[in-house]
Amino acid sequence: DTEVTQTPKHLVMGMTNKKSLKCEQHMGHRAMYWYKQKAKKPPELMFVYSYEKLSINESVPSRFSPECPNSSLLNLHLHALQPEDSALYLCASSWTSGKGNEQFFGPGTRLTVL
């Protein structure tokens, strides 16, 4: 099973709402990632978790709060977002290091902030 699943597929929220994005993988990977992708742009790395610990935060605003409850799950909590945060949010997973650590992506959550 080389699948990364993400829920929901689509999300519309107001600037005062609190919502969460969820990501799950059952490949035994110990590294998980959040990316943000704007239209016609490449994915931009937001966060990296390695062995359930945050290892990279690419200076992401605090209105995005990641959480890794266990090795299979990754959440992204959203609060007080801005319209410019509207994008496709992609989750990925991989082995942690060395060879064979290519990242597998989920289908993404398309977020619209009104």
Residues that bind another protein (CB under 8 A): 4, 6, 31, 33, 40-45, 48, 50, 55-56, 58, 88, 90, 94, 96-97, 99, 101-108, 110
- The nearer residue to another protein, 3 or 63, going by C-beta atoms, is 3
Cβ 65 to another protein, closest distance in Å?
A: 20
Contact 22, 73 (CB under 8 A): yes
Closest distance of CB 56 from another protein, Å = 6
Nearer to another protein, 73 or 105 (CB): 105
* 12 Cβ contact partners less than 8 Å away, ≥ 6 residues apart: 111, 112, 114
- Least distance CB 67 / another protein (angstroms): 18
Structure tokens that stand for 81 in this block: 């977002």
Q: Which is closer to another protein, CB of 48 or CB of 113?
A: 48
Q: How far is the CB of 5 from another protein (least distance, A)?
A: 11
Nearer to another protein, 97 or 112 (CB): 97
Distance of CA 20 to the CA centre of its chain: 10
Q: How far is CA 61 from CA 13, 27, 44, 58, 110, in A?
A: 18, 30, 14, 9, 19
- DSSP label of 83: G
